[in-house]
């Protein structure tokens, strides 16, 4: 429970960080009237409900995705953290969920977040880089990803950068499972979307990468058996 509360604070913070560079060094403000928020307006989830989703100064609505993100972080930390408790899992949620929301809004991935994600991954996963075999596979995968990008053009470069980070810092089987699952879930979603909207031009991929990553962390053993169990 305590972890989940911490999680919702992290979510709130990471979302701000994703949407504006440099928010690390200034006080939180209302997006509409730019008045500084006091401490009790900064409590994730609770303050949104207490203020009925409106700013106390200007009475403008606070964007709903902020509330949803805080709630999502709370639940993701509450549900998963105790079991697969790892710094890697926490880092992945903290970066992927805000990036997914940003991708839905803007169809891109902010570079400063990828850079920060890379630093955090390096910090907690650096022993992996001394594993020559892993390194060879990673470099091969990253080359394949870039070929995929150049030849098909069906994927954004922001997605390639994120997947390259995964190739470098996650175990190989995790990467493969996440990649396959992303296209599996994405494919189903596209079919569903097409039923409702016929003019589908662009689809953000990060939400699917995020969903697959969480699923792979949670159900690694089951998914591994389904995909590789038969012949490995
Ligand atoms: Zn305001």
Q: What CA–CA distance (Å, rounded) separates 224 from 109? A: 29
Q: Cα of 9 to ligand 1 centre, how many Å?
A: 20
- List Cβ<8 Å contacts ≥24 apart for 166-169: 166/213, 167/137, 167/138, 167/141, 167/142, 168/121, 168/128, 168/129, 168/138, 168/142, 169/121, 169/122, 169/125, 169/128
- Structure pTM? 0.85
What residues does each domain of the chain span?
Answer: 127-232
Q: Which two tokens stand for residue 12?
A: 């709130």
Q: Cα of 192 to ligand 1 centre, how many Å?
A: 38
Q: Cα of 41 to ligand 1 centre, how many Å?
A: 11
What's the confidence (pLDDT) of residue 174?
92
Q: Cα of 27 to ligand 1 centre, how many Å?
A: 14
Q: Cα of 6 to ligand 1 centre, how many Å?
A: 25
The Cα angle at residue 175 between residues 169 and 179, in degrees rounded to 5? 140
Q: Cα of 64 to ligand 1 centre, how many Å?
A: 14
What's the confidence (pLDDT) of residue 81?
65
Q: Cα of 69 to ligand 1 centre, how many Å?
A: 20
Q: Cα of 40 to ligand 1 centre, how many Å?
A: 15
> How confident is the prediction along the chain (232 residues), in pLDDT tens digits per residue?
778 888 888 888 888 877 775 555 566 788 788 888 888 888 888 889 888 989 888 888 888 888 888 888 888 888 766 555 578 888 898 999 999 999 988 888 989 899 999 999 999 888 888 899 999 999 999 999 999 999 987 788 999 999 999 999 999 999 999 999 999 999 898 888 888 776 667 788 999 999 999 999 888 888 888 877 655 4
Q: Cα of 60 to ligand 1 centre, how many Å?
A: 6
Q: Cα of 97 to ligand 1 centre, how many Å?
A: 25
**Residue 232's closest CA among 172, 186, 163, 168?**
172
Ion ligand 1 neighbours (CB, 5 A) are 30, 32-33, 55, 57-58
What's the confidence (pLDDT) of residue 212?
94
What's the confidence (pLDDT) of residue 117?
94
């Amino acid at each position: 429970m305590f972890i989940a509360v911490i999680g919702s604070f992290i979510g709130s913070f990471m979302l701000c960080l994703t949407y504006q560079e440099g928010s690390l060094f200034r006080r939180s403000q209302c997006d509409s009237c730019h008045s500084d928020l006091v401490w009790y307006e900064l409590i994730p989830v609770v303050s949104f409900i207490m203020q009925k989703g409106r700013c106390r100064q200007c009475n403008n609505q606070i964007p709903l995705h902020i509330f949803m993100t805080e709630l999502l972080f709370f639940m993701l930390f509450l549900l998963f953290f105790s079991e697969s408790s790892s710094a890697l899992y926490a880092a992945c949620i903290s970066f992927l969920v805000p990036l997914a929301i940003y991708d839905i809004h803007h169809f891109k991935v902010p570079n400063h977040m990828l850079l920060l994600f890379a630093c955090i991954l390096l910090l907690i996963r650096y022993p992996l880089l001394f594993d020559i075999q892993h390194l060879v596979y990673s470099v091969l995968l990253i080359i394949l990803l870039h070929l995929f990008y150049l030849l098909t053009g069906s994927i954004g470069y922001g997605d390639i950068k994120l997947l390259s980070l995964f190739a470098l810092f996650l175990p190989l089987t995790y990467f493969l499972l996440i990649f396959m699952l992303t296209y599996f879930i994405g494919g189903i979603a596209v079919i569903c979307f097409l039923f409702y909207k016929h003019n589908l031009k662009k689809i953000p991929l990060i939400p699917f990468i995020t969903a697959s990553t969480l699923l792979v962390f949670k159900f690694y053993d089951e998914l591994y058996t389904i995909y590789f169990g038969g012949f490995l």
